[in-house]
Amino acid sequence: MKLNKRYAQKLRTHSNLLEGALRLMGEEKGLGDLSLREVAGEAGIVPAAFYRHFKNMEELGLSLVDDCGEKIQAIVGDARNKGAYKSALRLTIGFFFDYVSNNRSLFRFIARERTGGNQKIREKIRESMKSIATELAKDMRMPKSIPVDDIQFASELIVSICFQMASDFLDLSPEAHTEMRKLKLQTIKQVRLVFIGTIRGRKRRESK
């Protein structure tokens, strides 16, 4: 019983460290602007206890990327389970932007670190986006003549579009509902163009 309580406490502290780092970064700061001491204090622990969860701040940043990637993959899976094919795209984009809206600090972190100074975190973000694209590719209803590599490429382009639009979405005021709807529709249109371009491109190659 004591072991279970200790493990539960460890999970809570781990989560508190991640959430504390995001709160400290807010809308403006990057991970490199934070100190280990600051993050530990925000989580309510002494600095030495930080090392029971992460080796350093870089490892904490990598964990934040993992957390974001796993949740977005779950969003893609939820849309697959809840929506018919014709509405799956709209559902997925809707779920995605709901998640962005509810996790603004996390996506600010991702947007900054995609071009930030830490190479390992940049690589981790690219790896995570590729994994999301692989999950998304399972739902892409394409003609059987289209190679798997083309479908994966299209999925990666879609994920890139969505992450870029998420950055634009975060620049809008939370009260700018009309602009948010327009941005979501624009995202859907761009994603549909990727579908159309992939199919038409394959047909042109086959006709030559």
Q: Please name the residue that has the structure tokens 């799956």.
A: 88
CATH number of the domain that 162 lies in?
1.10.357.10
Q: Which residues contact 6 (CB under 8 A, 6 or more apart)?
A: none
- How many structural domains compose the chain? 2
- Say if residue 24 is in the same domain as residue 66: no
pTM: 0.85
Domain that holds residue 75: 58-207
- Say if residue 41 is in the same domain as residue 120: no
- Say if residue 98 is in the same domain as residue 117: yes
pLDDT attached to residue 2: 57
Residues 148 and 58: their CA atoms lie apart, in Å, by 35
For 19-56, what is each residue's pLDDT tens digit? 999 999 988 889 999 999 999 999 999 999 999 999 99
| Residue from 170, 153, 164, 201 nearest 186 by CA | 164
Residues 31 and 143: their CA atoms lie apart, in Å, by 43
Quote the strand ranges of the chain, DSSP E.
none
Q: Please name the residue that has the structure tokens 């086959």.
A: 206
- Say if residue 82 is in the same domain as residue 168: yes
Residues 143 and 202: their CA atoms lie apart, in Å, by 9
CATH number of the domain that 34 lies in?
1.10.10.60
Q: Which residues of the chain have pLDDT under 70?
A: 1-3, 79-80, 82-88, 202-208
Read off the tokens for 81.
Answer: 């389970």
